[in-house]
Amino acid sequence: MLRISSAVASHPGLRREDNEDAYCAREDLGLYMVADGMGGHAAGEIASRLVVEAVEAFINETRDADVQRTWPFPYDPSISLDANRLKVALRLANRRLAAAMGENEALRGMATTAAVALFGRHTPVVAHVGDSRVYRWRGGRLTPLTEDHSWVGEQVRAGMLTDADARRHPWRNVVTRAIGGGGQPDVDVAALDLAPGDRLLLCTDGLSAVVPQDRIEALCGAAPPLQETCDALINAANEAGGPDNITVLMIQVDVA
Ligand code: CA
């Protein structure tokens, strides 16, 4: 059995007044999530918060599900029950955004990313949409478990840009997938391979698009407590200019 502990920190950064990031760390549900909202006025803040709340609600409703229940979307037998729970949760969250935009003209165009880890009763899973990331830290090495759904991310994977180019590119904020109330969002889900001693880092691009990966790797390996690691990551993003909202959520995996 694995024992999970977590810490989280969120900061508006140095150039923005509002914080449009949202998160949850629900040890009772095994649910950990960060979301990076986009939209005019306060809409980005509403988008990320609504999506986090909708995911929490569905994961809570299905906490005892051990067989396929009546899903609002087709059950995908090729992935696990918990992977289905996350995929459906994010699709329901998308509907929730669509409904909110239908009721309030001022919210039109709002959207959010989502990066989620779920420790249910079986193999843990991660899911994401957009450019918020999940990394695994193991034995001093930091490995990204998600591929950014972003323009620069696609260019890096195609070998057209380096990570350093991507952090400076004027289009670095352009996401190619988001939860925005439109057609069914395409959610990436993957089973998590975890061992005692591993750490997971969930973060918004206020960290990953600002602080080089080797610096994040070094900070993630710093000795506990976990909260200090989160605070150090926020400081690193702010020392690099803090151009964007920053949210970091760290999970420590130990033997129960
Ligand atoms: Ca952001």
CA 84 – ligand 1 centroid, Å: 27
Give the Å distance between the CA of 43 and the centre of ligand 1.
14
- In angstroms, the Cα distances linking 83 to 138, 217, 222, 243 are 23, 27, 31, 33
Tell me how far the alpha carbon of residue 97 lies from the centroid of ligand 1, in angstroms: 18
Mean pLDDT of the chain: 93
Count Cβ neighbours within 10 Å for each residue of 142-170 and write b for 16 or more, e otherwise.
beebbebbbbbbebbeeeebeeeebbebe
CA distance 157 to 99: 35
Tell me the β-bridge partners of 52.
none
Fill in the amino acid letter for 172: R
Distance 214 CA to ligand 1 centre (A): 20
CATH code, domain with 24: 3.60.40.10
User: Which region among 26-30, 183-187, 232-236 has the lowest average model confidence (pLDDT)?
Assistant: 183-187
List pLDDT tens digits, range 57-76. 999 999 887 666 667 788 88
Cα 163 to Cα 86, 131, 140, 141, distances in angstroms: 29, 14, 20, 17
* Residue 124 CA, distance from chain mean position: 15
**Sheet order of strands, 2-11 included:** 2-11, 246-255, 199-203, 133-138, 141-144
Q: How many domains does the chain have?
A: 1
**C-alpha of residue 245 to centroid of ligand 1, in Å:** 6
Measured CA to CA in angstroms, residue 256 lies from 77, 123, 197 at distances of: 30, 16, 12
- The per-residue pLDDT for 70 is 62
Distance 92 CA to ligand 1 centre (A): 22
Q: Looking at residues 26-49, what average pLDDT do you find? A: 93
Residue 15 CA to ligand 1 center (angstroms) comes to 12
Centroid of ligand 1 to alpha carbon of 204 (angstroms): 6
Give the C-alpha separation, 178 to 151, whole Å: 12
H-only helix segments in the chain: 43-61, 81-103, 151-157, 163-168, 205-208, 213-220, 226-239
27 CA from centroid of ligand 1 (Å): 25
Confidence bin at 15 (pLDDT 50/70/90) = very high
Range of the domain at 229: 2-255
Ligand 1 centroid–CA 173 distance in Å is 7
- Gap between the Cα atoms of 34 and 52, Å rounded: 8
Q: Stretch 221-229: mean pLDDT, rounded? A: 87
One-letter amino acid of 213: Q
- Give the pLDDT of residue 217: 97
- Once rounded to an integer, what is the mean pLDDT over residues 144-161? 94
pLDDT, average across residues 231-245: 97
Residue 102 near residue 176 (C-beta atoms within 8 A)? no
> Over the stretch 105-150, which tens digit does the pLDDT of each residue have?
999 999 999 999 999 988 999 999 999 999 999 999 999 999 999 9
